[in-house]
Structure 1
Amino acid sequence: MYFGGTFDPIHNGHLQSALCAGQLLNVANVGFVPCHITPHKDQPRTSSQHRLAMLECALKTIASNPTGMNVHVEDYELKHDRSSYTLHTLQYLRQLHGANTPLFWLIGMDSLITLDRWYGWQQLLQYAHIAVVNRPGYLAPSDGVLGHWWAQHRASLRDIAGSACGKCILLNTEEMDLSSTTIRRLIEQQRRCKETSLQITQLVPQAVAEYINQHKLYLTSDTEKS
Protein backbone atom coordinates (compact mmCIF):
# COMPACT_ATOMS: atom_id res chain seq x y z
CA MET A 1 0.00 0.00 0.00
CA TYR A 2 1.19 3.52 -0.80
CA PHE A 3 0.15 6.82 0.71
CA GLY A 4 1.00 10.05 -1.13
CA GLY A 5 0.98 13.60 0.16
CA THR A 6 2.89 16.79 0.79
CA PHE A 7 3.37 15.85 4.48
CA ASP A 8 3.97 19.50 5.36
CA PRO A 9 4.36 18.43 8.14
CA ILE A 10 3.67 14.72 8.63
CA HIS A 11 1.35 14.33 11.63
CA ASN A 12 -0.26 11.68 13.80
CA GLY A 13 -3.40 11.63 11.66
CA HIS A 14 -1.36 10.57 8.63
CA LEU A 15 0.33 7.82 10.63
CA GLN A 16 -2.87 6.55 12.22
CA SER A 17 -4.74 6.47 8.91
CA ALA A 18 -1.93 4.60 7.16
CA LEU A 19 -1.52 1.97 9.87
CA CYS A 20 -5.27 1.40 10.25
CA ALA A 21 -5.77 1.16 6.48
CA GLY A 22 -2.82 -1.17 6.08
CA GLN A 23 -4.19 -3.43 8.78
CA LEU A 24 -7.66 -3.57 7.20
CA LEU A 25 -6.12 -4.33 3.80
CA ASN A 26 -3.80 -6.91 5.36
CA VAL A 27 -0.70 -5.55 3.65
CA ALA A 28 2.87 -6.22 4.71
CA ASN A 29 4.34 -2.90 3.51
CA VAL A 30 3.23 0.71 3.67
CA GLY A 31 5.12 3.22 1.55
CA PHE A 32 4.80 6.97 2.18
CA VAL A 33 5.25 8.95 -1.05
CA PRO A 34 6.16 12.61 -0.48
CA CYS A 35 5.38 14.77 -3.48
CA HIS A 36 7.89 17.22 -4.93
CA ILE A 37 5.86 19.73 -6.95
CA THR A 38 2.12 19.52 -6.41
CA PRO A 39 -0.02 20.31 -9.48
CA HIS A 40 -3.32 20.85 -7.62
CA LYS A 41 -2.53 22.86 -4.48
CA ASP A 42 -0.33 25.71 -3.39
CA GLN A 43 3.29 24.61 -3.23
CA PRO A 44 4.46 23.23 0.13
CA ARG A 45 5.69 25.74 2.69
CA THR A 46 8.91 23.81 3.27
CA SER A 47 11.44 22.23 0.95
CA SER A 48 11.29 18.63 -0.20
CA GLN A 49 14.42 17.96 1.86
CA HIS A 50 12.80 19.15 5.09
CA ARG A 51 9.58 17.27 4.42
CA LEU A 52 11.52 14.11 3.65
CA ALA A 53 13.57 14.48 6.84
CA MET A 54 10.43 14.96 8.96
CA LEU A 55 8.82 11.94 7.33
CA GLU A 56 11.87 9.81 8.08
CA CYS A 57 11.80 10.99 11.70
CA ALA A 58 8.12 10.08 11.98
CA LEU A 59 8.49 6.63 10.47
CA LYS A 60 11.25 5.75 12.92
CA THR A 61 8.73 6.22 15.72
CA ILE A 62 6.36 3.62 14.25
CA ALA A 63 8.96 1.23 12.85
CA SER A 64 8.07 -1.26 15.59
CA ASN A 65 4.31 -0.84 15.25
CA PRO A 66 2.05 -3.58 16.71
CA THR A 67 0.76 -4.55 13.26
CA GLY A 68 4.20 -5.75 12.17
CA MET A 69 3.93 -3.83 8.89
CA ASN A 70 7.07 -2.47 7.30
CA VAL A 71 6.84 1.31 6.86
CA HIS A 72 9.17 3.12 4.50
CA VAL A 73 9.62 6.19 2.31
CA GLU A 74 9.19 5.86 -1.45
CA ASP A 75 11.06 8.88 -2.83
CA TYR A 76 10.22 8.38 -6.52
CA GLU A 77 8.50 11.76 -6.90
CA LEU A 78 11.36 13.62 -5.21
CA LYS A 79 13.77 12.37 -7.86
CA HIS A 80 11.98 14.17 -10.70
CA ASP A 81 11.98 17.94 -11.17
CA ARG A 82 8.41 18.07 -12.46
CA SER A 83 4.85 18.10 -11.18
CA SER A 84 4.09 15.00 -9.15
CA TYR A 85 1.23 13.23 -10.91
CA THR A 86 -0.18 10.15 -9.16
CA LEU A 87 -0.71 8.44 -12.51
CA HIS A 88 3.02 8.55 -13.28
CA THR A 89 3.85 7.27 -9.80
CA LEU A 90 1.43 4.36 -10.10
CA GLN A 91 2.82 3.45 -13.49
CA TYR A 92 6.29 3.30 -11.92
CA LEU A 93 5.07 1.27 -8.94
CA ARG A 94 3.24 -1.20 -11.17
CA GLN A 95 6.37 -1.73 -13.22
CA LEU A 96 8.36 -2.14 -10.02
CA HIS A 97 6.06 -4.75 -8.48
CA GLY A 98 4.91 -6.61 -11.59
CA ALA A 99 1.51 -7.10 -13.16
CA ASN A 100 -0.04 -9.46 -10.60
CA THR A 101 0.85 -7.89 -7.26
CA PRO A 102 -2.10 -6.19 -5.52
CA LEU A 103 -1.38 -2.47 -5.12
CA PHE A 104 -3.38 0.03 -3.08
CA TRP A 105 -3.18 3.82 -3.27
CA LEU A 106 -4.52 5.43 -0.10
CA ILE A 107 -6.37 8.77 -0.19
CA GLY A 108 -8.72 10.68 2.08
CA MET A 109 -12.35 11.36 1.30
CA ASP A 110 -11.43 15.03 0.79
CA SER A 111 -9.18 13.95 -2.09
CA LEU A 112 -11.74 11.54 -3.53
CA ILE A 113 -14.34 14.26 -4.08
CA THR A 114 -11.89 16.18 -6.30
CA LEU A 115 -10.38 13.14 -8.01
CA ASP A 116 -11.85 14.10 -11.38
CA ARG A 117 -9.48 17.11 -11.41
CA TRP A 118 -6.42 14.85 -11.24
CA TYR A 119 -4.33 14.23 -14.32
CA GLY A 120 -5.41 10.99 -16.02
CA TRP A 121 -7.70 10.13 -13.10
CA GLN A 122 -9.76 7.57 -15.04
CA GLN A 123 -6.59 5.57 -15.72
CA LEU A 124 -5.55 5.23 -12.08
CA LEU A 125 -7.44 1.98 -11.54
CA GLN A 126 -5.50 0.35 -14.35
CA TYR A 127 -2.52 0.29 -12.01
CA ALA A 128 -3.89 0.02 -8.45
CA HIS A 129 -6.92 -0.17 -6.22
CA ILE A 130 -7.86 3.12 -4.60
CA ALA A 131 -8.46 2.84 -0.86
CA VAL A 132 -10.34 5.73 0.74
CA VAL A 133 -10.40 6.73 4.40
CA ASN A 134 -13.08 8.97 5.87
CA ARG A 135 -12.38 12.61 6.69
CA PRO A 136 -14.65 14.65 8.98
CA GLY A 137 -17.16 16.72 7.01
CA TYR A 138 -16.76 14.91 3.67
CA LEU A 139 -19.10 12.46 1.93
CA ALA A 140 -18.49 10.17 -1.04
CA PRO A 141 -19.54 11.59 -4.43
CA SER A 142 -23.09 10.61 -5.36
CA ASP A 143 -23.77 12.28 -8.70
CA GLY A 144 -22.09 13.51 -11.86
CA VAL A 145 -19.22 11.79 -13.62
CA LEU A 146 -17.32 11.15 -10.41
CA GLY A 147 -20.38 9.80 -8.60
CA HIS A 148 -21.04 7.37 -11.46
CA TRP A 149 -17.38 6.30 -11.49
CA TRP A 150 -17.42 5.71 -7.73
CA ALA A 151 -20.61 3.63 -7.89
CA GLN A 152 -19.27 1.61 -10.82
CA HIS A 153 -15.95 0.71 -9.21
CA ARG A 154 -16.72 0.55 -5.49
CA ALA A 155 -16.12 -2.88 -3.99
CA SER A 156 -15.81 -4.61 -0.64
CA LEU A 157 -12.64 -6.09 0.79
CA ARG A 158 -14.01 -9.54 -0.06
CA ASP A 159 -14.54 -8.52 -3.70
CA ILE A 160 -10.91 -7.51 -4.23
CA ALA A 161 -9.30 -10.62 -2.76
CA GLY A 162 -6.39 -11.60 -5.00
CA SER A 163 -6.96 -8.89 -7.60
CA ALA A 164 -4.14 -6.54 -8.56
CA CYS A 165 -6.06 -3.34 -9.35
CA GLY A 166 -9.32 -1.89 -10.65
CA LYS A 167 -11.52 -1.24 -7.60
CA CYS A 168 -12.30 1.43 -5.00
CA ILE A 169 -12.61 0.50 -1.35
CA LEU A 170 -14.03 2.65 1.44
CA LEU A 171 -12.24 1.74 4.67
CA ASN A 172 -13.99 2.12 7.99
CA THR A 173 -11.19 3.79 9.92
CA GLU A 174 -11.39 6.10 12.91
CA GLU A 175 -11.68 9.70 11.76
CA MET A 176 -9.09 12.14 13.11
CA ASP A 177 -9.88 15.82 12.63
CA LEU A 178 -6.32 16.97 12.08
CA SER A 179 -4.54 18.65 9.20
CA SER A 180 -1.09 19.97 8.38
CA THR A 181 -2.63 23.40 7.83
CA THR A 182 -3.93 23.42 11.41
CA ILE A 183 -0.50 22.50 12.75
CA ARG A 184 1.26 25.21 10.72
CA ARG A 185 -1.19 27.83 11.98
CA LEU A 186 -0.71 26.67 15.56
CA ILE A 187 3.08 26.96 15.24
CA GLU A 188 2.79 30.46 13.77
CA GLN A 189 0.43 31.52 16.56
CA GLN A 190 2.74 30.18 19.24
CA ARG A 191 5.75 31.95 17.78
CA ARG A 192 3.85 35.24 17.51
CA CYS A 193 3.05 34.85 21.20
CA LYS A 194 6.74 34.07 21.87
CA GLU A 195 6.05 30.62 23.29
CA THR A 196 9.27 29.06 24.50
CA SER A 197 8.43 25.59 23.23
CA LEU A 198 6.20 24.04 20.59
CA GLN A 199 3.03 22.57 22.07
CA ILE A 200 2.34 20.26 19.15
CA THR A 201 3.71 17.00 20.52
CA GLN A 202 0.20 15.51 20.73
CA LEU A 203 -0.29 16.26 17.04
CA VAL A 204 3.03 15.15 15.58
CA PRO A 205 5.69 12.69 16.78
CA GLN A 206 8.14 14.16 19.27
CA ALA A 207 11.02 13.83 16.81
CA VAL A 208 9.09 15.84 14.21
CA ALA A 209 8.29 18.59 16.73
CA GLU A 210 11.98 18.78 17.62
CA TYR A 211 12.96 18.96 13.95
CA ILE A 212 10.49 21.79 13.31
CA ASN A 213 11.84 23.69 16.29
CA GLN A 214 15.49 23.06 15.40
CA HIS A 215 15.09 24.30 11.82
CA LYS A 216 12.61 27.08 12.67
CA LEU A 217 10.09 25.86 10.14
CA TYR A 218 6.73 27.51 9.43
CA LEU A 219 7.74 31.00 10.46
CA THR A 220 5.53 33.77 9.10
CA SER A 221 8.53 35.90 8.10
CA ASP A 222 10.20 34.77 4.89
CA THR A 223 13.54 36.06 6.16
CA GLU A 224 13.36 33.66 9.10
CA LYS A 225 12.64 30.52 7.10
CA SER A 226 15.22 27.77 7.18
Structure 2
Amino acid sequence: MVKYAADDAKMSSLVLMFGGTFDPIHHGHLRSALELTQVLPVKKVHLVPCQRPAHKDQPKATAEQRLAMLRLAIADESLLFADDCELRRAGPSWSVDTLINLRKDYGNQQPLAMVLGWDAFIGLPNWSRNERLLELVHLIVLERPGQMYQATDEVLQLLEKHKLTADETLATHPAGRIFRLSLPSTFEISATHIRKLLANNLSARYLLPDTVLNFINKQGLYR
Protein backbone atom coordinates (compact mmCIF):
# COMPACT_ATOMS: atom_id res chain seq x y z
CA MET A 1 0.00 0.00 0.00
CA VAL A 2 1.18 3.51 -0.77
CA LYS A 3 2.52 5.29 2.32
CA TYR A 4 2.06 8.96 3.17
CA ALA A 5 3.54 11.29 5.73
CA ALA A 6 1.54 14.41 6.53
CA ASP A 7 4.70 16.45 7.16
CA ASP A 8 6.32 15.75 3.79
CA ALA A 9 7.12 19.27 2.57
CA LYS A 10 7.41 18.12 -1.04
CA MET A 11 3.74 17.22 -1.28
CA SER A 12 1.06 19.68 -2.30
CA SER A 13 -1.80 19.81 0.20
CA LEU A 14 -5.01 18.01 -0.65
CA VAL A 15 -8.57 19.28 -0.42
CA LEU A 16 -11.07 16.56 0.45
CA MET A 17 -14.83 16.25 0.08
CA PHE A 18 -16.46 13.97 2.67
CA GLY A 19 -20.20 13.79 2.10
CA GLY A 20 -23.02 12.11 3.96
CA THR A 21 -26.46 12.50 5.44
CA PHE A 22 -24.97 13.09 8.94
CA ASP A 23 -28.31 12.24 10.56
CA PRO A 24 -26.76 12.59 13.11
CA ILE A 25 -23.02 13.19 12.77
CA HIS A 26 -21.16 10.67 15.00
CA HIS A 27 -17.69 9.60 16.08
CA GLY A 28 -17.32 7.22 13.13
CA HIS A 29 -17.57 10.14 10.70
CA LEU A 30 -15.49 12.44 12.85
CA ARG A 31 -12.62 10.08 13.59
CA SER A 32 -12.31 9.16 9.91
CA ALA A 33 -12.23 12.83 8.90
CA LEU A 34 -9.60 13.61 11.53
CA GLU A 35 -7.40 10.62 10.68
CA LEU A 36 -7.44 11.58 7.01
CA THR A 37 -5.72 14.83 8.03
CA GLN A 38 -3.15 12.83 10.00
CA VAL A 39 -2.17 10.27 7.35
CA LEU A 40 -2.48 12.50 4.26
CA PRO A 41 -1.15 16.01 3.55
CA VAL A 42 -4.56 17.64 3.85
CA LYS A 43 -5.22 21.37 4.10
CA LYS A 44 -9.02 21.21 4.26
CA VAL A 45 -11.82 18.65 4.56
CA HIS A 46 -15.24 19.76 3.30
CA LEU A 47 -17.83 17.84 5.31
CA VAL A 48 -20.92 18.10 3.11
CA PRO A 49 -24.38 17.18 4.45
CA CYS A 50 -26.66 16.20 1.60
CA GLN A 51 -30.04 17.83 1.08
CA ARG A 52 -31.93 14.86 -0.33
CA PRO A 53 -29.95 11.61 -0.69
CA ALA A 54 -30.73 10.09 -4.07
CA HIS A 55 -30.49 6.42 -3.02
CA LYS A 56 -31.45 6.50 0.69
CA ASP A 57 -34.41 7.27 2.90
CA GLN A 58 -34.93 10.94 3.60
CA PRO A 59 -33.23 12.33 6.73
CA LYS A 60 -35.18 12.43 10.00
CA ALA A 61 -33.66 15.75 11.09
CA THR A 62 -34.03 18.90 9.02
CA ALA A 63 -31.21 20.31 6.94
CA GLU A 64 -30.79 23.13 9.46
CA GLN A 65 -30.58 20.71 12.39
CA ARG A 66 -28.05 18.43 10.68
CA LEU A 67 -25.87 21.41 9.77
CA ALA A 68 -26.08 22.74 13.33
CA MET A 69 -25.01 19.33 14.73
CA LEU A 70 -22.10 19.17 12.29
CA ARG A 71 -20.91 22.64 13.27
CA LEU A 72 -21.08 21.75 16.96
CA ALA A 73 -19.11 18.54 16.37
CA ILE A 74 -16.18 20.14 14.52
CA ALA A 75 -16.03 23.49 16.32
CA ASP A 76 -12.46 22.94 17.54
CA GLU A 77 -10.98 21.32 14.39
CA SER A 78 -9.47 23.92 12.10
CA LEU A 79 -9.01 21.56 9.11
CA LEU A 80 -12.63 20.39 9.12
CA PHE A 81 -15.17 22.63 7.40
CA ALA A 82 -18.98 22.35 7.49
CA ASP A 83 -19.94 22.97 3.87
CA ASP A 84 -23.66 23.67 3.33
CA CYS A 85 -23.47 23.86 -0.48
CA GLU A 86 -25.82 20.88 -1.04
CA LEU A 87 -28.29 22.16 1.53
CA ARG A 88 -28.56 25.38 -0.47
CA ARG A 89 -29.41 23.50 -3.68
CA ALA A 90 -32.91 22.33 -4.46
CA GLY A 91 -33.64 18.75 -5.42
CA PRO A 92 -31.63 15.54 -4.92
CA SER A 93 -27.97 15.86 -3.91
CA TRP A 94 -25.63 14.63 -6.63
CA SER A 95 -21.96 14.40 -5.68
CA VAL A 96 -20.85 15.35 -9.17
CA ASP A 97 -22.49 18.79 -8.84
CA THR A 98 -20.66 19.44 -5.58
CA LEU A 99 -17.37 18.34 -7.13
CA ILE A 100 -17.91 20.60 -10.15
CA ASN A 101 -18.36 23.54 -7.77
CA LEU A 102 -15.29 22.60 -5.73
CA ARG A 103 -13.22 22.38 -8.91
CA LYS A 104 -14.41 25.84 -9.93
CA ASP A 105 -13.56 27.22 -6.49
CA TYR A 106 -10.06 25.72 -6.28
CA GLY A 107 -9.00 25.80 -9.94
CA ASN A 108 -7.72 23.14 -12.30
CA GLN A 109 -4.38 22.41 -10.62
CA GLN A 110 -5.44 21.88 -7.00
CA PRO A 111 -5.40 18.17 -6.04
CA LEU A 112 -8.95 17.32 -4.97
CA ALA A 113 -10.30 14.03 -3.66
CA MET A 114 -13.67 12.63 -2.68
CA VAL A 115 -13.82 10.25 0.28
CA LEU A 116 -16.20 7.30 0.14
CA GLY A 117 -16.55 3.84 1.62
CA TRP A 118 -16.00 0.60 -0.29
CA ASP A 119 -19.75 -0.12 -0.24
CA ALA A 120 -20.43 3.20 -1.98
CA PHE A 121 -17.52 2.71 -4.39
CA ILE A 122 -18.79 -0.61 -5.73
CA GLY A 123 -22.08 1.13 -6.57
CA LEU A 124 -20.28 3.79 -8.61
CA PRO A 125 -21.66 2.61 -12.00
CA ASN A 126 -25.13 3.65 -10.79
CA TRP A 127 -24.09 7.19 -9.80
CA SER A 128 -25.28 10.19 -11.76
CA ARG A 129 -22.70 11.22 -14.41
CA ASN A 130 -20.20 8.80 -12.89
CA GLU A 131 -17.91 9.13 -15.91
CA ARG A 132 -17.12 12.70 -14.85
CA LEU A 133 -16.00 11.93 -11.30
CA LEU A 134 -12.40 10.97 -12.06
CA GLU A 135 -12.11 13.90 -14.45
CA LEU A 136 -12.81 16.18 -11.49
CA VAL A 137 -11.17 14.51 -8.49
CA HIS A 138 -9.31 11.55 -7.05
CA LEU A 139 -11.30 8.93 -5.14
CA ILE A 140 -10.16 7.85 -1.68
CA VAL A 141 -11.89 4.55 -0.90
CA LEU A 142 -11.98 3.74 2.81
CA GLU A 143 -11.80 0.04 3.59
CA ARG A 144 -13.32 -1.37 6.76
CA PRO A 145 -13.10 -4.98 7.98
CA GLY A 146 -16.37 -6.81 7.47
CA GLN A 147 -17.61 -4.36 4.81
CA MET A 148 -15.64 -5.59 1.80
CA TYR A 149 -18.52 -6.55 -0.46
CA GLN A 150 -17.80 -8.17 -3.80
CA ALA A 151 -17.20 -5.72 -6.67
CA THR A 152 -18.36 -6.24 -10.24
CA ASP A 153 -15.90 -6.73 -13.09
CA GLU A 154 -16.73 -3.21 -14.25
CA VAL A 155 -15.68 -1.72 -10.90
CA LEU A 156 -12.54 -3.87 -10.68
CA GLN A 157 -11.49 -2.76 -14.16
CA LEU A 158 -12.03 0.88 -13.19
CA LEU A 159 -9.90 0.36 -10.09
CA GLU A 160 -7.12 -1.30 -12.07
CA LYS A 161 -7.09 1.48 -14.66
CA HIS A 162 -6.98 4.36 -12.16
CA LYS A 163 -5.30 2.91 -9.05
CA LEU A 164 -2.55 4.93 -7.43
CA THR A 165 0.85 3.38 -8.11
CA ALA A 166 3.79 3.12 -5.73
CA ASP A 167 5.71 5.96 -7.42
CA GLU A 168 2.77 8.41 -7.24
CA THR A 169 0.99 10.46 -4.60
CA LEU A 170 -2.44 12.02 -4.78
CA ALA A 171 -0.68 15.35 -5.15
CA THR A 172 1.10 14.22 -8.33
CA HIS A 173 -2.07 14.93 -10.35
CA PRO A 174 -5.11 17.14 -9.70
CA ALA A 175 -7.51 14.23 -10.28
CA GLY A 176 -7.94 10.82 -11.85
CA ARG A 177 -6.55 8.31 -9.33
CA ILE A 178 -8.19 5.83 -6.97
CA PHE A 179 -6.51 5.25 -3.62
CA ARG A 180 -7.65 2.43 -1.31
CA LEU A 181 -6.96 3.35 2.30
CA SER A 182 -7.40 1.63 5.66
CA LEU A 183 -7.42 4.16 8.48
CA PRO A 184 -5.87 3.32 11.86
CA SER A 185 -9.21 3.39 13.72
CA THR A 186 -12.42 1.74 12.60
CA PHE A 187 -15.74 2.13 14.40
CA GLU A 188 -18.85 0.05 13.90
CA ILE A 189 -21.12 3.02 14.50
CA SER A 190 -24.13 3.91 12.39
CA ALA A 191 -26.56 6.80 12.50
CA THR A 192 -29.37 4.25 12.12
CA HIS A 193 -28.33 2.53 15.35
CA ILE A 194 -28.09 5.86 17.17
CA ARG A 195 -31.58 6.84 16.02
CA LYS A 196 -32.98 3.48 17.18
CA LEU A 197 -31.40 3.89 20.62
CA LEU A 198 -32.89 7.35 21.01
CA ALA A 199 -36.30 6.23 19.73
CA ASN A 200 -36.32 3.63 22.51
CA ASN A 201 -35.19 6.11 25.18
CA LEU A 202 -31.78 4.43 25.47
CA SER A 203 -28.51 6.30 25.87
CA ALA A 204 -26.38 7.07 22.80
CA ARG A 205 -23.60 8.63 24.84
CA TYR A 206 -20.01 7.98 23.65
CA LEU A 207 -21.26 7.26 20.11
CA LEU A 208 -21.33 10.95 19.22
CA PRO A 209 -20.04 14.18 20.79
CA ASP A 210 -21.80 15.39 23.94
CA THR A 211 -22.46 18.74 22.28
CA VAL A 212 -24.38 16.96 19.53
CA LEU A 213 -26.24 14.73 21.98
CA ASN A 214 -27.24 17.78 24.04
CA PHE A 215 -28.56 19.44 20.88
CA ILE A 216 -30.56 16.31 20.01
CA ASN A 217 -32.09 16.21 23.48
CA LYS A 218 -33.00 19.90 23.45
CA GLN A 219 -34.57 19.59 19.99
CA GLY A 220 -36.37 16.33 20.85
CA LEU A 221 -34.91 14.65 17.77
CA TYR A 222 -35.32 10.96 16.83
CA ARG A 223 -37.82 10.26 19.60
* TM-score using structure 1 length: 0.86
User: Does residue 1:128 correspond to 2:137, yes or no?
Assistant: yes
How many corresponding residue pairs? 206
Find the partner of 2:115 among 74, 83, 106.
106
Find the partner of 2:213 among 209, 212, 218.
209
Give the unaligned 5+ runs of structure 1: 64-68, 220-226
Larger displacement relative to structure 2 (92-101 or 153-162): 153-162
Partner of 2:8: none
User: Does residue 1:17 correspond to 2:27, yes or no?
Assistant: no
CA distance in 1, matches of 2:51, 2:135: 23
TM-superposed CA distance for 1:158, in Å, is 4.8
User: Does residue 1:187 correspond to 2:198, yes or no?
Assistant: yes
What residue identity is the alignment partner of 2:175? C
* TM-score using structure 2 length: 0.87
Q: Which runs of 4+ in 1 moved over 3 A?
A: 140-143
CA distance in 2, matches of 1:180, 1:156: 34
Q: Deviations over 1:48-85 (max 9, x none)?
A: 0110010011011x42xxxxx52111111111111110
Partner of 2:181: 171
CA distance in 1, matches of 2:59, 2:125: 22
Partner of 1:2: 17
Contact 2:33 2:80 in 1 (8 A): no
* Structure (1 or 2) with the greater helix fraction: 1
CA distance in 2, matches of 1:179, 1:151: 30
- Pairwise CA RMSD: 1.6
Q: Residues 99 and 135 (structure 1 numbering): CA distance in 2 closer, same or farther, change over 3 Å?
A: same
CA distance in 1, matches of 2:28, 2:87: 23
CA distance in 1, matches of 2:143, 2:196: 23
1:22-171 counterparts in 2 under 5 A? 22-60=37-75, 62-63=76-77, 70-139=79-148, 141-156=150-165, 158-160=167-169, 161-171=171-181
Give the unaligned 5+ runs of structure 2: 1-15
CA distance in 1, matches of 2:166, 2:48: 23
Partner of 1:218: 222
What residue identity is the alignment partner of 2:70? L
What secondary structure, in the 3-state scheme, does the structure 2 residue paired with 1:14 have?
helix
TM-superposed CA distance for 1:143, in Å, is 3.5
CA distance in 2, matches of 1:52, 1:200: 19
TM-superposed CA distance for 1:22, in Å, is 2.5
Contact 2:37 2:79 in 1 (8 A): no
Identity of aligned residues (%): 35
